[in-house]
């Protein structure tokens, strides 16, 4: 199973639910890797809704595993994209054309959900039109508060900022606008004293 129970945390840290079919003027779905399982669950619960959906899917390391089942669910449009950056322009176009009442479904890693949510909000789609479900990796997108560089797929805490090289600890404080957690210098008060990295949620 690809689900993970995040321990309770502070109010700015996103929480995730389970996708459920919702009536609306349009159905737009985006998933990466194991996130496909969440979309397939929606298709199973309401096959008709899936036939009206525009689905964008990024398989990542799962290869062909979910592409055939998704095709079999027969969405109105299915677009397989090699990466999130490769489909951002398309997503922008699809979100911008979505009438009020459209339902958005995001499933997969926190990085994908967060970035697509930020894009949707920026276009004006209200937050509660967007459902999210976490699946797969617990890697985080982290912004270095010092140099502002964002590092993708951070798996350890602390980690070294990929931009400025500072050693950062990963806070649960999260910015929806940046789609990133906050990384703060861990050895500012004792330079060089960096505790060993541990895997997130290990």
Q: How far is the CB of 96 from other proteins (least distance, A)?
A: 7
Binding flag, residue 175, other proteins (CB under 8 A):
yes
> Which residues 25-44 are close enough to bind other proteins by CB under 8 A?
25
Applying CB under 8 A, which part among 78-86, 105-113, 173-181, 192-200 lies near other proteins? 173-181
* Residue-wise DSSP of 92-104: HHHHHTPPTT-EE
* Token pair recorded at residue 4: 């993970």
Applying CB under 8 A, which part among 53-61, 132-140, 152-160, 182-190 lies near other proteins? 182-190
Binding flag, residue 91, other proteins (CB under 8 A):
no
Binding flag, residue 83, other proteins (CB under 8 A):
no
Nearer of residues 73 and 102 to other proteins, judged by Cβ: 102
Among all chains, which residue has been given the structure tokens 């060089």? Answer: 192
Applying CB under 8 A, which part among 69-77, 79-87, 109-117, 124-132 lies near other proteins? 124-132
Contacts of 60 (CB under 8 A, 6+ apart): 32, 33
Spell 29-58 as b/e; 16+ CB within 10 A means b.
bbbbbbbbbbbbebbeebeebbeebbbbbb
Is 200 within 8 Å of 138 (Cβ atoms)? yes
Strands (E), 22-147: 27-32, 53-58, 77-80, 103-108, 130-134, 140-144
Q: Quick one: which of 18, 77, 86, 188 contacts other proteins (CB under 8 A)?
A: 188
Binding flag, residue 23, other proteins (CB under 8 A):
yes
Is 102 within 8 Å of 30 (Cβ atoms)? no
Nearer of residues 86 and 97 to other proteins, judged by Cβ: 97
Is 147 within 8 Å of 110 (Cβ atoms)? no
Q: Which residues bind other proteins (CB under 8 A)?
A: 10-13, 22-25, 95-96, 98-103, 123-129, 143, 145-146, 148, 166, 171-173, 175-178, 182, 184-185, 188-191
């Amino acid at each position: 199973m690809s689900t993970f129970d995040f321990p309770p945390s502070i109010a700015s840290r996103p929480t995730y639910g389970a996708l459920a079919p919702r009536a609306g003027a349009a159905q737009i779905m985006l998933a990466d890797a194991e996130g496909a399982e969440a979309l397939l669950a929606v298709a199973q619960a309401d096959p008709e809704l899936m036939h009206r959906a525009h689905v964008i899917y990024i398989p990542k390391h799962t290869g062909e595993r979910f592409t055939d089942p998704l095709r079999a669910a027969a969405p109105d449009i299915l677009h397989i994209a090699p990466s999130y950056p490769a489909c951002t322009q398309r997503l922008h176009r699809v979100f911008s054309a979505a009438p009020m009442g459209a339902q958005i479904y995001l499933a997969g890693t926190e990085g994908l959900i967060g970035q697509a949510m930020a894009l949707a909000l920026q276009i004006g789609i209200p937050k509660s039109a967007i459902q999210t479900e976490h699946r797969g990796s617990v890697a985080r997108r982290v912004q270095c508060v010092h140099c502002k560089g964002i590092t993708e797929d951070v798996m350890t805490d602390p980690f070294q900022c990929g931009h400025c090289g500072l050693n950062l600890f990963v806070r649960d404080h999260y910015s929806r606008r940046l789609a990133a957690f906050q990384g703060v210098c861990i050895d500012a008060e004792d330079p060089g004293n960096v505790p060993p990295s541990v895997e997130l949620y290990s």
